Amino acid sequence: MKLVKTSLLFIALVSFSCKENRKEENTSEEKITAEASKIEVQGHRGERGHSPENSIPGFLAAIDKGIDVIEMDVVMSKDKKIVVSHEAFMSSAYVLSPAGDTIPKQQEKSYILFTMTYDSIKKFDIGSKGNASFPGQRKFKTYKPLLAETIDSIENYVKSKNLDPVRYNIEIKSDVAEYEKSQPKPAEFVKAVMAILEEKQIVSKINIQSFDVNILEEMHRSYPEVKLAYLVGRGDFDENMEKISFKPEIYSPHYKLLDSMKVAKIQQSGMKVIPWTVNEQADIDKVKKMNVDGIITDYPERAIE
């Protein structure tokens, strides 16, 4: 009888152990599945819905909300500095002059950053006016920062808060019609941006994006280790891919160009799909159901699960 009881106890312990192991395996598999299915959230120009765009305070606020990636734009100044700015000029929509005056729409192209030194660029206020398109945006005085300063501020902030590292999606603003007018040619532009990213040792945490295929071609040729995102605002996938000689890692179209079948087709070709700029909650929910890999949004809190 004692032997029978011992055998039954052994069997019970083995059964319990197997169940616990299966539970741990299931939990581990569920965690891996959840991480694999998690949609990457990119804060567009920081968190433009609530903070001045492409500003250091805006980037830090986006980090506080839990974004995965900081999305930003860069241009070049007259003295060859890489400046964080969406426009190559001082936009009348949200920029005030050094004297605090509004810039008339018809005069904004008089302030081309490529013809201005960075010392003069920094004197313009990009936060106090606010932005009529984003009524919930905080208003405070701030400026267009240098890319190097921006990276230092973000990296130091993440470290001081003991946060998970953030990644960077950097758009090189470029247009063939503007070469040597409001920007340098692609080779010079790419080299200047990459020099900063290499100096700051964050190349492994970045991708470069652009609408200009010449920028992407130059990046692919000179820096093949860097992930690239192909920005598109019109046309279908096949038409757009005919314009470029290689397959970038990411296809980044306006969200209205997508549906579930198109997303699946692009992903089956080996590219991730990260649409821009998805702001309304209904659109965010709709795009998520398409199984995109990421979302670029001015309101990251709406997309973070």
Q: How many CA atoms lie within 13 A of 265 on its CB side?
A: 9
Measured in whole angstroms, the distance separating CA 275 from the mean position of its chain's CA atoms is 11
Q: Does domain 38-303 have CATH number 3.40.50.12170?
A: no
Identify whether the C-beta of residue 94 lies closer than 8 Å to the C-beta of residue 191: no
pLDDT for the residue 305: 76
Distance CA 147, CA 175 (A): 20
The domain segmentation of the chain, as residue ranges, is: 1-37, 38-303
Give the mean model confidence (pLDDT) for residues 69-80: 99
Confidence of residue 3 (pLDDT cuts 50, 70, 90): very low
Distance CA 270, CA 263 (A): 11
pLDDT of residue 63 exceeding 50, the answer is yes
**pTM for the full model?**
0.89
Query: Does the pLDDT of residue 191 top 50, yes or no?
Result: yes
Question: Is 190:218 a contact under the CB 8 Å cutoff?
Answer: yes
- Give the Cα separation of 39 and 275 in Å (integer): 11
pLDDT tens digits, 106-142: 999 999 999 999 999 999 999 999 999 999 999 999 9
Higher pLDDT, 305 or 57: 57
Residue 123 has phi, psi (to 5 degrees) of: -75, -15
Give 232's strand partners.
253
The answer for residues whose C-beta is within 8 angstroms of residue 217's C-beta and 6 or more apart is 186, 244, 245, 246
What are the two backbone dihedrals, phi and then psi, of residue 258, each rounded to the nearest 5 degrees? -110, 155
For position 32, what pLDDT does the model report? Answer: 37
The distance from CA 136 to its chain's CA centroid, rounded to whole angstroms, is 21
Q: What does the pLDDT read at residue 267? A: 99
- Using the predicted structure, report yes or no on whether residue 28 has a pLDDT greater than 50: no
Is 138 in a helix, a strand, or coil? Answer: coil
Burial class (CB in 10 A: 0-12, 13-18, 19+), 18: exposed
